[in-house]
């Protein structure tokens, strides 16, 4: 009980103390993975599931190009469903110090088969539907991928792979992203990806080919730059019931759906905006304000929509700063 | 085992290597310079005296090599102008690497032969020093050394190492790997003996093995069990001490301590042994114990909360208090079901000398109180209530940040009392008290690190108790006190799909019979019953233990709904013995039954005091030891983690408290209290690991106090302590999240005259612990970047906290009433104290989250 209180009070106090300021997460200036999308977020046992990845190389200089590598064997039902409990299995498959490119798939999509026994081989949950889970690992890397032997007694979630250049120098966090995707399989529950209907600027629909046009900003601080209103429209029919999640009265809750904005220049006022709340449905204000870039040029803007059960959709549009 | 502290600090194997920083940047710079026809030579290392392996890492038993990466700025003379951490590692590694880096000397970088400043990446690799195993072999009876005995050690990986003892019987291995070893010693004419040991990095284990003469007529197999050689293991280090104490604050002190707004229970945080809670967390952290380990009672009835949310004020107003008894440890057998401390708040009876009232307002809340006799019935009444009104300004402020506010944060509490003296020996009192805190907001713009922890945020916590108390002094030697209560506790917390909802209906009863048997001997017998039906609904992320990483926000939540009933009957007996002049011994025994574990816990305890002097100034020695049990909670653990409450076959958490202390009077106003305590914790309930946890807390407390009575009161309080835990016996002890090494509090308040009073409080406290976090995996399913926290957890500490608070009071006296105005200003000199660590989105940059700026509070109180 006390912990619950502390949790809440920490939340309250988070807005009252003074936090350090960093570059916003929406700013894409390095190798980034923004999302993956499974064509079947909740697959059935035996289904073939296709994953698409949204990755982008935002580095101002690119000594080596970025590629997306997929680890071809999904990890099925790791202990406690924790992705890092798959890591010990890599030690049996890979040796340190070797370029793994020949053993990995490359590209922006990857398909795999959910095992027919994915549910039956999973430990029975404490309550609710029986389920299984597949964890698919990928790596966006501006070099090649090497396995790194785990440090004895080290953190269990320490990254097991590194991104290395041709000189065997390990590249830093600007040059790679190690990511994982979860694909669940429930005996009863189903799930569909949310779908972005359109992006609007100032209330008018944005043509995905023409993109968003703004005047570049001449202010010294990005937060002082003029804003243009953006809104990502997802129709209410996309918010599915989640029978397993119930409120205090026992009534089933709906999905939470939110949008993450990413840009190569400029800054959204909020990187993440809740579009649909689990309790209250569509939120009163789904829009965001976008601060114009400080330099004229051609840029990119992404709206990535997620639901809280692994569904996703995204929209990439050009951003013109005159 | 002789562990040389100096050796622990000896330079570890520090591998140093250079790499060009921002390799691509430098390469690009070179390309650009090459295009201009320039040649760049990177800096070259000239002098490196290495980095010391940190003592903290040795203590924390960090098992593996750790790499600290630094960004160095090399000036044109080759000196290190600046060194920054790229990724902190904690456990003292960062400080050791930075200290060593500033002693490095380079040949500067050159452009066309001209020195230029440069930035490079530099790494220190800290490898734990190997354990040392040394010993001595001697004869069983005479203890004379045996030279030439063969010592064979098989290490954890199966490797065998052999040596012979020197003429003085000594032997040693300096490069064994950490882990379990088997030692076999044999010598001509002696029976061989063996031993098993666990070796830890950087530590020295020392054994003395004594051999018995071989008996030709006695087969080895028969003699072995009885002839097991004694093994002496000596551990060098300070033996943890012990202590016991009880502290009481006077009304004048409570009302005028700066920084507390005159709140009685918040003033407890200024006493020795009580840690400073993080801001806006109304937690009572006593002697390194989790807040849940300390029980709060109102006249013997347990209540679930002590503070309204944010720790802004207590749930029972100061004006109702008769006393606060605070036991940081070694409390008597009267109290049970707790391993930490006890706070027992005594409510006063209503006044009988006419109608009296009070009204108080400050920037946070307002309260009213009315009391007096009920006509001429012999009954007296008291009613009081308080409501916060900061929701009036905080609600609009939250809305301006974009949050949808259904219920702005607010709290209220109320009390009602009816009391009657039945006759000169007995009285009856009925008390109703309750509290309610709530907020409901919609957070539409969550942290991108976990967007599932967003949306509608609702919080409500409430409790009420109806308590009846009957006291009767049956005879000059016998007294009876009976208290019974019924109430409801409710917590309802929801964030997105996360939900914690609990409702409890506790029925409690206490009865104690005190009887003076003979001069110098009294006996107390009591029963303490709790019957508690409860309902719990949970939907929370899977639980993890401290140091164990989360599986990420994409995991399926754990959902639990259960309705059970706890029945916790207990009985106790306690003697108060005065065996001689100035001495007092209180042995006691408490028996607790827990229906959830279907088991009894028996808790013997003893406390004693001995005056060393007769009359003033008094010197008193005090000591105590005892066993304390705490039943597993329906949800939550003593470790502070949320446990889903689905573990079975649990037993109670257990603690053994040891105390020893000294009290010394100097003048009528000044006294000193010094205490040493040691608290051994075991059978601790750990999430998903049963009763596998253990730990300890120990320290020393000083309280130099100038008592109120004249124009001045104040005290200097200092606590030096350490609190450690581990989740399984196989792990090394790590610092508990409730550990604060140094807690210094200085308080003083002076009556200037003409109704003016001015006071100040200064605090200097060790920073809270945290686990440095670095770049981890990206959860592409939810778009969340995860961090990797260093292991073991709590390896780093925030900078010291220091703060000055002042308080000024002015009182106006009128013929039939008085008016008091006060200004309480917290953090007068605006110390930007670090209260946490903030990271950028991918944990490659970090900075301190600082606490509150200057916080003034103005209040008015009228009494008649």
Residue A182: per-residue pLDDT: 93
- Could you say which of B64, B404, B777 has the minimum Cβ distance to residue A151? B64
Residue B131: per-residue pLDDT: 81
The verdict on whether omega for the bond into residue B792 sits within 30 degrees of 0, i.e. cis, is yes
Q: Please give the Cα distance from A235 to A232 (Å, whole number).
A: 10
Shortest Cα–Cα distance, B514 to chain A (Å): 35
Residue B160: per-residue pLDDT: 86
Q: Please give the Cα distance from B290 to B295 (Å, whole number).
A: 11
Q: At residue B239, does pLDDT exceed 60?
A: no
Tell if the CB–CB gap between A165 and B62 is shorter than 8 Å. Answer: no
| 3-state SS class at B104 | coil
Q: Residue A142: closest CA among chain B residues belongs to which residue?
A: B24
Q: Please give the Cα distance from B398 to B441 (Å, whole number).
A: 9
Are B735 and B743 contacting, i.e. CB atoms less than 8 angstroms apart? no
Q: Please give the Cα distance from B657 to B660 (Å, whole number).
A: 10
Q: Parallel, antiparallel, or unpaired for β A176-186 and B773-779?
A: parallel
- Could you say which of B404, B499, B556 has the minimum Cβ distance to residue A131? B556
Q: Is pLDDT larger for residue B427 or for residue B494?
A: B427
Residue B31: per-residue pLDDT: 38
Q: Residue A248: closest CA among chain B residues belongs to which residue?
A: B501
- Is A279 part of the contact surface with chain B (CB cutoff 8 Å)? yes
List of domains in chain A: 31-186 (no CATH), 196-321 (2.60.40.10)
Tell if the CB–CB gap between B841 and A260 is shorter than 8 Å. Answer: no
Residue B6: per-residue pLDDT: 28
Shortest Cα–Cα distance, A236 to chain B (Å): 16
Q: Measuring CA to CA, how many Å separate B53 from each of A299, B11, B21, B68? A: 49, 6, 25, 12
**Cβ neighbours of B641 in A, within 8 Å:** 3
**Cβ neighbours of B62 in A, within 8 Å:** 153
Tell if the CB–CB gap between B790 and A155 is shorter than 8 Å. Answer: yes
- Is A283 part of the contact surface with chain B (CB cutoff 8 Å)? yes
Residue B14: per-residue pLDDT: 28
Residue B402: per-residue pLDDT: 60
Phi, psi of A124 (to 5 degrees): -65, 135
Name which of B777, B798, B838 to mutate to probe chain A: the one with the most chain A Cβ atoms within 10 A of its Cβ.
B777
Residue B541: per-residue pLDDT: 77
Q: Residues 564 to 593 of B: which have CB under 8 A from any A CB?
A: none
**Cβ neighbours of B556 in A, within 8 Å:** 81, 125, 131, 133, 184
Task: Give the least confident one: A221-235, B354-368, B445-459.
Answer: B445-459
- Is B493 part of the contact surface with chain A (CB cutoff 8 Å)? yes
- The percent of residues in chain B predicted with pLDDT above 90, rounded, is 37
Tell if the CB–CB gap between A7 and B493 is shorter than 8 Å. Answer: yes
Residues A18-46 have pLDDT tens digits of 778 888 899 999 999 999 999 999 999 99
- Is B775 part of the contact surface with chain A (CB cutoff 8 Å)? yes
Q: At residue B22, does pLDDT exceed 70?
A: no
Tell if the CB–CB gap between A245 and B558 is shorter than 8 Å. Answer: no
Tell if the CB–CB gap between A3 and B281 is shorter than 8 Å. Answer: no
Task: Give the least confident one: A104-108, B16-20, B396-400, B491-495.
Answer: B16-20
Mean pLDDT, residues A244-262: 85
Residue B111: per-residue pLDDT: 87
**Cβ neighbours of A53 in B, within 8 Å:** 780
Confidence of residue B337 (pLDDT cuts 50, 70, 90): very high
Q: Please give the Cα distance from A213 to A321 (Å, whole number).
A: 6
**Average model confidence (pLDDT) across chain B:** 82
Q: Please give the Cα distance from B654 to B651 (Å, whole number).
A: 9
Residues B441-450 have pLDDT tens digits of 877 777 767 7
Candidate ranges A2-6, A131-135, A275-279, B303-307; pick with highest mean pLDDT:
A131-135
Q: Which two tokens stand for residue B491?
A: 């917590």
Residue B446: per-residue pLDDT: 75
Mean pLDDT, residues A207-225: 91
Q: Please give the Cα distance from A284 to A261 (Å, whole number).
A: 19
Confidence of residue B419 (pLDDT cuts 50, 70, 90): very high
- Is A124 part of the contact surface with chain B (CB cutoff 8 Å)? no
**Average model confidence (pLDDT) across chain A:** 89
CATH tag for B245-345 (out of 3.40.50.2300, 2.40.30.20, 3.40.640.10, 2.170.130.10): 2.170.130.10
**Cβ neighbours of A138 in B, within 8 Å:** 780
Residue B211: per-residue pLDDT: 81
Residues B686-733 have pLDDT tens digits of 877 888 899 999 999 999 999 887 789 899 999 999 999 998 888 889
Residues B748-769 have pLDDT tens digits of 999 998 889 999 999 999 999 9
Shortest Cα–Cα distance, B789 to chain A (Å): 7
Residues B61-118 have pLDDT tens digits of 777 788 888 889 999 999 999 898 877 788 888 889 999 998 899 999 888 888 988 8
Shortest Cα–Cα distance, B604 to chain A (Å): 29
- Is B838 part of the contact surface with chain A (CB cutoff 8 Å)? yes
Shortest Cα–Cα distance, A10 to chain B (Å): 7
Task: Give the least confident one: A50-54, B162-166, B271-275, B494-498.
Answer: B494-498
Shortest Cα–Cα distance, B759 to chain A (Å): 26
Q: Residues 207 to 226 of A: which have CB under 8 A from any B CB?
A: none
Mean pLDDT, residues B390-404: 69
Residue A180: per-residue pLDDT: 95
- Is B777 part of the contact surface with chain A (CB cutoff 8 Å)? yes
- Could you say which of B27, B280, B500 has the minimum Cβ distance to residue A9? B280
**CATH number for the segment(s) B132-233:** 2.60.40.1120
Distance of CA B371 to the CA centre of its chain: 40
Tell if the CB–CB gap between A274 and B443 is shorter than 8 Å. Answer: yes
ipTM confidence score: 0.94
Q: Residue B556: closest CA among chain A residues belongs to which residue?
A: A81
Q: Residues 452 to 471 of B: which have CB under 8 A from any A CB?
A: 452, 454-457, 459, 461
Residue B88: per-residue pLDDT: 79
Q: Please give the Cα distance from B471 to B428 (Å, whole number).
A: 7
Tell if the CB–CB gap between A179 and B852 is shorter than 8 Å. Answer: no
Q: Is pLDDT larger for residue B799 or for residue A153?
A: B799
Confidence of residue B406 (pLDDT cuts 50, 70, 90): low
- Is B220 part of the contact surface with chain A (CB cutoff 8 Å)? no
Please state the CATH superfamily assignment of the domain spanning residues B346-863 in this structure. Answer: TonB-dependent receptor, beta-barrel domain (2.40.170.20)
- The percent of residues in chain A predicted with pLDDT above 70, rounded, is 94
SS (H, E, C) B156-209: CCCCEEEEECCCCCEEEECCCCCEEEEEEEECCCECCEEEEEEECCCCEEEEEE
Q: Residue A183: closest CA among chain B residues belongs to which residue?
A: B781
Q: Is pLDDT larger for residue A73 or for residue B455?
A: A73
Shortest Cα–Cα distance, A219 to chain B (Å): 23
Confidence of residue B218 (pLDDT cuts 50, 70, 90): very low
- The percent of residues in chain A predicted with pLDDT above 90, rounded, is 70
- Is A6 part of the contact surface with chain B (CB cutoff 8 Å)? yes
- Is B295 part of the contact surface with chain A (CB cutoff 8 Å)? no
Which residues lie closer than 8 Å to A240 by C-beta, 6 or more apart?
A190, A191, A192, A254, A255, A307
Q: What number of other Cβ atoms are within 10 A of residue B267's Cβ?
A: 24
- Is A94 part of the contact surface with chain B (CB cutoff 8 Å)? no
Are B123 and B67 contacting, i.e. CB atoms less than 8 angstroms apart? yes
Confidence of residue A252 (pLDDT cuts 50, 70, 90): confident
Tell if the CB–CB gap between A173 and B281 is shorter than 8 Å. Answer: no
Shortest Cα–Cα distance, A169 to chain B (Å): 9
**CATH number for the segment(s) B5-126:** 3.30.2420.10
Residue B100: per-residue pLDDT: 92
Residue B23: per-residue pLDDT: 31
- Is B840 part of the contact surface with chain A (CB cutoff 8 Å)? yes
**Per-domain residue ranges of chain B:** 5-126, 132-233, 245-345, 346-863
Mean pLDDT, residues A125-144: 91
Residues B594-618 have pLDDT tens digits of 998 889 999 999 999 898 987 778 8
Residues A268-293 have pLDDT tens digits of 998 999 999 888 889 888 999 999 99
Shortest Cα–Cα distance, A43 to chain B (Å): 14
Residue A236: per-residue pLDDT: 94
Confidence of residue B404 (pLDDT cuts 50, 70, 90): low
Nearest to A283, CA basis, from A272, A298, A292, A271: A272
Residue B403: per-residue pLDDT: 60
Residue B20: per-residue pLDDT: 29
Mean pLDDT, residues B858-864: 92
């Amino acid at each position: 009980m006390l912990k619950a209180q502390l949790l809440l009070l920490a939340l309250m106090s988070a807005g009252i103390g003074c936090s350090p300021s960093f570059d916003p997460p929406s700013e894409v200036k390095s190798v980034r993975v923004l999302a993956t999308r499974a064509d079947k977020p909740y697959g059935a046992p035996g289904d073939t599931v296709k994953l698409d990845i949204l990755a982008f190389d935002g580095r101002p200089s690119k000594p080596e190009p970025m590629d997306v590598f997929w680890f071809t064997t999904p990890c099925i039902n790791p202990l406690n469903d924790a992705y890092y409990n798959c890591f010990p299995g890599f030690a049996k498959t890979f040796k340190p110090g070797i370029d793994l490119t020949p053993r990995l798939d490359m590209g922006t999509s990857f398909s795999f088969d959910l095992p027919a026994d994915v549910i039956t081989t999973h430990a029975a949950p404490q309550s609710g539907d029986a389920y299984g889970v597949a964890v698919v690992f990928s790596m966006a890397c501006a070099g090649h991928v090497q396995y790194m032997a785990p440090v004895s007694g080290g953190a269990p979630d320490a990254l097991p792979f590194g991104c290395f250049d041709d000189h065997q120098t390990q590249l830093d966090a600007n040059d790679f992203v190690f990511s994982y995707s979860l694909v669940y399989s429930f005996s009863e529950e189903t799930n569909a990806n949310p779908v972005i209907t359109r992006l609007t600027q100032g209330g008018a629909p944005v043509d995905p080919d023409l993109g968003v046009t703004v005047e570049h900003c001449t202010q010294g601080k990005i937060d002082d730059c003029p804003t243009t209103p953006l809104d990502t429209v997802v129709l209410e029919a996309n918010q599915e019931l989640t029978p397993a999640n119930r409120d205090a009265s026992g009534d089933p809750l709906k999905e939470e759906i939110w949008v993450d904005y990413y840009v190569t220049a400029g800054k959204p006022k909020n990187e993440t905006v809740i579009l649909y709340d689990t309790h209250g449905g569509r939120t009163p204000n789904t829009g965001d304000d976008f601060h114009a870039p400080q330099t004229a040029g051609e840029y990119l803007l992404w709206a990535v929509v997620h639901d809280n059960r692994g569904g996703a959709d995204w929209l990439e549009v050009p951003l013109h700063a005159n | 085992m002789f562990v040389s502290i100096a050796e622990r600090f000896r330079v570890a194997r520090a591998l140093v290597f250079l790499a060009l920083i921002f390799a691509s940047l430098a390469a690009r710079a070179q390309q650009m310079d090459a295009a201009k026809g320039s040649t760049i030579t990177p800096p070259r290392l000239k002098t490196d005296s290495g980095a010391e392996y940190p003592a903290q890492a040795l203590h924390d038993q960090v098992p593996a090599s750790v790499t600290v990466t630094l960004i160095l700025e090399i000036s044109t003379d080759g000196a290190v102008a600046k060194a920054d951490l790229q990724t902190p590692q904690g456990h003292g590694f960062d400080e050791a690497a930075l200290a060593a880096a500033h002693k490095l000397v380079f040949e500067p970088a050159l452009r066309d032969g001209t020195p230029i400043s440069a930035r490079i990446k530099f790494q220190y690799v800290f490898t734990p020093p190997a354990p040392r195993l040394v010993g001595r072999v001697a004869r069983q009876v005479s203890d004379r050394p045996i030279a030439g005995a063969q010592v064979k050690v098989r290490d954890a990986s199966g490797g065998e190492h052999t040596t012979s003892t020197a003429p003085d019987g000594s032997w040693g291995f300096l490069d064994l790997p950490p882990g379990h070893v088997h030692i076999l010693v044999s010598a001509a004419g002696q029976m061989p003996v063996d031993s098993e040991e666990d070796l830890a990095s950087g530590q020295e284990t020392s054994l003395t093995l004594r051999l018995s003469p071989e008996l030709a007529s006695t087969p080895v197999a028969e003699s072995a069990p009885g002839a097991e050689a004694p093994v002496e293991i000596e551990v060098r280090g300070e033996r943890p001490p012990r202590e016991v104490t009880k502290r009481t604050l006077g009304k004048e002190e409570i009302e005028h301590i700066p920084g507390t707004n005159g709140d009685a229970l918040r003033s407890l945080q200024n006493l020795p042994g009580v840690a400073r809670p993080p801001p806006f967390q109304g937690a009572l952290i006593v002697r390194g114990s989790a807040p849940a380990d300390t029980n709060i009672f109102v006249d013997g009835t347990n209540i679930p909360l002590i503070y309204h949310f944010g720790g802004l004020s207590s749930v029972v107003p100061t004006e109702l208090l008769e006393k606060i008894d605070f036991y940081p440890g070694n409390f008597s057998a009267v109290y049970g079901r707790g391993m930490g401390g006890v706070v027992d708040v005594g409510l006063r009876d209503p006044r009988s000398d006419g109608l009296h009232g009070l009204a108080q307002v400050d920037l946070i809340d307002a309260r009213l109180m009315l009391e007096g006799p009920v006509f001429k019935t012999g009954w007296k009444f008291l009613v009081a209530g308080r409501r916060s009104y900061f929701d009036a300004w905080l609600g609009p402020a939250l809305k301006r940040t974009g949050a949808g506010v259904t219920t702005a944060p607010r709290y209220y509490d109320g009390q009602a009392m009816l009391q009657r003296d039945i006759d000169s020996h007995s009285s009856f009192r009925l008390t109703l008290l309750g509290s309610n805190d709530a907020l409901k907001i919609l957070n539409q713009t969550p942290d991108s690190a976990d967007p599932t922890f967003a949306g509608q945020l609702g919080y409500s916590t409430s409790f009420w108790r109806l308590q009846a108390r009957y006291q009767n002094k049956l005879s000059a030697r016998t007294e009876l006190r009976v208290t019974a209560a019924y109430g409801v506790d409710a917590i309802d917390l929801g964030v997105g799909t996360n939900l914690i909802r609990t409702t409890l209906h506790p029925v409690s009863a206490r009865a104690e019979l005190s009887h003076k048997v003979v001069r110098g001997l009294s006996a107390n017998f009591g029963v303490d019953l709790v019957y508690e039906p409860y309902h719990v609904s949970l939907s929370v992320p899977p639980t993890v233990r401290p140091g164990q990483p989360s599986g990420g926000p994409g995991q399926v939540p754990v959902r639990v709904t259960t309705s059970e009933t706890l029945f916790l009957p207990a009985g106790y007996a306690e003697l108060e013995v005065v065996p001689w002049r100035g001495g007092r011994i209180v042995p006691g025994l408490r028996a607790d039954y827990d229906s959830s574990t279907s088991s009894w816990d028996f808790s013997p305890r003893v406390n004693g005091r001995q005056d060393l002097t007769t009359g003033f100034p008094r010197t008193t020695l005090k000591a105590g030891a005892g066993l304390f049990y705490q039943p597993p909670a329906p949800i939550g653990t003593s470790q502070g983690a949320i446990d889903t409450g689905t573990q079975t076959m649990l037993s109670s958490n257990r603690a053994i408290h040891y105390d020893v202390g000294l009290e010394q009077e100097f003048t009528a106003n000044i006294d000193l209290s010094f205490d040493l305590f040691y608290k051994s914790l075991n059978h601790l309930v750990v999430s998903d690991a049963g009763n596998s946890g253990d730990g300890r807390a120990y320290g020393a407390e000083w309280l130099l106090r100038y008592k109120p009575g004249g124009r001045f009161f104040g005290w200097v309080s200092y606590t030096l302590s350490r609190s450690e835990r581990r989740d399984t016996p196989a792990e090394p002890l790590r610092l508990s999240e409730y550990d604060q090494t140094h807690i210094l509090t200085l308080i003083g308040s002076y009556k200037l005259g003409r109704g003016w009073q001015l006071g100040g409080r200064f605090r200097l406290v060790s920073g809270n612990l945290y686990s440095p976090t670095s770049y981890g995996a990206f959860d592409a399913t939810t778009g969340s970047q995860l961090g990797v926290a260093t292991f073991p957890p709590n390896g780093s500490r925030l900078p010291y906290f220091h703060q000055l608070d002042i308080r000024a009071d002015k009182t106006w006296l009128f013929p039939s009433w008085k008016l008091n105005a006060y200004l309480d200003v917290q953090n007068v000199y605006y110390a930007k104290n670090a209260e946490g660590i903030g990271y950028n989105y991918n944990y490659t940059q970090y900075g301190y989250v600082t606490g509150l700026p200057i916080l003034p509070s103005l209040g008015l109180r009228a009494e008649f």
